[in-house]
Amino acid sequence: MEKICLFPGTFDPITMGHVDVIKRSVSLFDKLIVAIGVNTSKTPMFSVDQRIAWIKEIFKDYPQIEVTSYTGLTINYCKEVGAQYMMRGIRYISDFEYEKAIGDMNRLLAPEIETIFLTCAPEYSTISSTIVRDVIRNGGDVSQIVPPEVRV
């Protein structure tokens, strides 16, 4: 059976922390689906199409990585694409507490899908998409915290 993992997020924009987690987790699975969750109650800075294009360009040399978007419950999307695993990146203990609560709920909804937590490299632990967006809005240089493909 093919091991398929979903790595969901908003990736608005994708950061070096996201890239770190993706590159370190890709070898664990036959297919890694990087899935942009679309939340209609949020207004992202970058379009879904732009975010997909960036991620596809960043990982163009990784044939086992697929990039897509979805709406609704992430656990339902896992079922839809046949993912037996869901990868979640952790920066701080507060991330773990939040992600564990979601993982526990997902286990109740779909016990056949395992949530895996992967900590990001220490040099990326302070980077979040929220901070990156703030730097961009205020005209700052984000070249050290986003991949070179993300040109804003």
- Per DSSP, what are the bridge partners of residue 31? 4
- Establish whether 129 is a catalytic residue: yes
Give catalytic status of residue 60 as yes or no.
no
- Which tokens belong to 11? 């990736």
Long-range contacts of 94-97 (CB under 8 A, 24+ apart): none
Q: Whats the size of the chain, residue-wise? A: 152
91 is catalytic: yes
Cα–Cα distance measured from residue 23 to residue 31, given in angstroms and rounded to the nearest whole number: 12
Asked whether 33 and 4 are in contact (CB, 8 A), the reply is: yes
Q: How far apart are CA 85 and CA 135, in angstroms?
A: 33
Query: Which listed residue (27, 42, 94, 151) is catalytic?
Result: 42
* Tokens matching residue 139: 């005209």
Is 42 labeled as catalytic in the residue annotation? Answer: yes
- Options 24, 31, 56, 91, the catalytic residue: 91
The one-letter amino acid at 121: A
Catalytic residues: 18, 42, 91, 129
